[in-house]
Structure 1
Amino acid sequence: MDTTVRHGRANKNTRAATQRHQTRPATSHLTEGDQGTVEVSIVLPCYNEQEHVLAEIERITSAMDASVYPYEVLAIDDASTDETLEILRQAEARFPHLRVLAFANNGGSGTARRIGTQQARGQIVVWTDADMSYPNDRIPELVEILDKDENIDQVVGARTSEQGTHKVLRVPAKWVIRKIAERLTNTKIPDLNSGLRAFRREVSLPYLRLLPAGFSCVTTITMAFLHNQHAIHYMPIGYAKRSGTSKFHFVKDAYRYILQVLRMVMYFNPLKVLMPPSLALLAVGTGKAAYDVISQPVRLASNTLLILLTGLIIASLALLADLIVRSRTN
């Protein structure tokens, strides 16, 4: 069953939605004079995907050509060391909706998605991968949900299975990270780091500067939308075993995922992270102080004072960080 996360709107988000409603066309069908219009931009990071990138482009363009949405595919070669760029250059002549950007240096998946979103000409941006793991033929379904419901700002393809490498370790690690994110955002999150998603470009622009260079960029855009009360809809999708060699490194990337979750919560709501340990330390310190006074009157142990001072310092940092967050414009 589809799951939709909906939140109340802040005034600035309401104004943005109103402007979006005024600027979006009333219908998605093209007329003869609209042939240059692009409504959907599909950002496709590519790094050493020579064996399957052409098949993925064919699958995406076939699905989009059968839809009513004018689109572009923005393929970004992230300094591949194989023949990926040459294949993409040759494909440009064959696929009129394909644009190719080539990086001189490897910047990471997050950098490719950030620059691709900035370069996108469509009002709706789709992120996906070129490794044949996501059902990219369902991209029009994600776009249609955004097109029909102005209250939804992002649609995430929530995977119903795990087919990645290191499955035995990856599944419990992702579950723990997702539960931490749910706890910190007070939101049910079926899939925190799905690589297939569609969102409104104008809503995402203020958050692009927050995207890290690596895979955790998808986690970042999810957390940014949730913390700023943008509605996210989760659409269940299948997930296939990827083609080629995985670029995911379990220990390094899992650490980055959880670090990015904490970083995003600290950025938007630092009290969520800092106040619980502060209150816990103060409670322990107060109890320890009471014990010290009862056991040895007029004397507090040095470790009791250390616990109390640590709790007060963390509480002060939490309040200061919250003040800084509230003073930002976004």
Structure 2
Amino acid sequence: MKLSIVIPAKDEEQGLALTLPRLLDAYPEAEIIVVNDGSSDGTGEVCRQHGVKTVDHPYSKGNGAAIKSGARCATGDYIVFMDGDGQHSPADVEKLLYKVAEGYDMVVGARTSRDDQASLARWSANSLYNWLASWMVNRKIDDLTSGFRIVNRRKFLSFLYLLPNGFSYPTTSTMAFFRAGYSVGFVPIVVAKRLGKSHISVLRDGVRFFLIIFKIGTLYSPLKVYFPMAVLVSGLGIANYIVANIASGAWRFTNMSTLLILSGMIIFLIGLLAEQLTNLQYKDSEEEL
């Protein structure tokens, strides 16, 4: 099995100086690709010193865009994605390889505990994502947002158009693989303290992380999200109808009850349409394979 290792990097000079020598020692035959996402430090120089392949972005396009550039450039049968900030240990790549040998199309390195740098808000958000995604796919998801994973390159490329340019590529790719019926596994890993400054801002990215929750649903099965909302809104309309008419004694629909019931019906129809569009979207991906 030919292996490619893709590392997205923006100003990760310190982390790469630690990670690249260890990767080269452990996997001398692997294709190592660093995607330099518009770095302003010595990231490019560190890559040249270690003789690894680089893909240079003229300006920062985002973590997801770097992942897509690296995947297009990779030639291996499987691609390992890992961060360049020193958090992911090259020794854990072996764990992913053992799991993929069991027949998995994607294996995710699941963080076993909250690392020192993860704020309580980020850790809580990740726990919420894991719970919601597990409910959507009816299978326990240990870590939805981990950037340390191995994927079948051919299958991953078929979903490349779905991936955003920002930081939510792990969520999108994981749910896409589940939706397509591919095998997704998890192995426990321990992350180290990141080297350098984090590029994630809780304030700036708060709304984006909130939107990921809805994206999880629309990627896997939109109707599973829209139908409970439709039942809830319509149920409020029926409850309003009953309470209002008991109070007035005149059994007729009020404006509010009518509005709520019709809103529930519209939400259901939107979910039904989204479900059909999602089926067509994944049908196109299967045809590309």
**Distance in 2 between residues matched to 1:301 and 1:125, nearest whole Å:** 59
Q: 1:103 maps to which residue? A: 57
Provide the secondary structure at the position in 1 that maps to 2:158: helix
Structure 2 runs not aligned, ≥5 long: none
Q: Deviations over 1:56-109 (max 9, x none)?
A: 1011111213xxxx41000111110112112222322xxxxx211111111111
Q: 1-side partners of 2:204 and 2:81: how far apart?
A: 23
Distance 2:174 2:278 in 1: 19
- Per-residue CA deviations over 1:202-259 (Å, capped at 9, x if unaligned) read 1112211111112211111111112222111111111111111111212333432342
Q: Does 1:88 align with 2:47?
A: yes
Identity %: 30
The partner residue of 2:26 within 63, 74, 79 is: 63
Question: Counterpart of 2:94?
Answer: 140
Equivalent pair of 2:176/2:219 in contact (CA under 8 Å): no
Alignment match, 2:257: 304
Q: How does 1:154-303 map to 2 (within 5 A)?
A: 154-163=106-115, 165-294=117-246, 295-303=248-256
CA shift, 1:275, in A, is 0.9
Q: Determine if contact 2:99/2:187 at 8 Å carries over to the other structure.
A: no
1:131 corresponds to: 85
The amino acid of 1:288's aligned partner reads N
Which residue is equivalent to 2:269? 316
Structure 1 residues 166 and 198: CA distance shift in structure 2, 3 A: closer
- Structure 1 length normalisation: TM-score? 0.80
Paired amino acid for 1:234 = F
The alpha-carbon distance between structure 1 residues 166 and 232, as it changes in their structure 2 partners (threshold 3 A), is: closer
- 1:124 and 1:292 mapped to 2: Cα distance? 62
- Which runs of 5 or more residues in structure 1 are unaligned? 1-27, 29-38, 93-97
**What is the root-mean-square deviation in Å for CA atoms of aligned residues?**
1.8
User: Matched residues in 1 for 2:60 and 2:280: separation?
Assistant: 36
Measure the CA separation in 2 of the matches of 1:298 and 1:169.
Answer: 48
Paired letter, 2:112: T
Q: Does the 8 Å contact 2:109/2:187 carry over to 1?
A: yes
Please report how far the alpha carbon of residue 167 of structure 1 lies from its aligned counterpart in structure 2 after TM superposition: 2.0
Counterpart-to-counterpart distance in 2, 1:254 and 1:86: 34
Partner of 2:8: 45
Stretch moving more, 48-57 or 284-293: 284-293
Aligned residues: 282
Alpha-carbon distance between aligned partners in 1 of 2:220 and 2:189, rounded to the nearest angstrom: 29
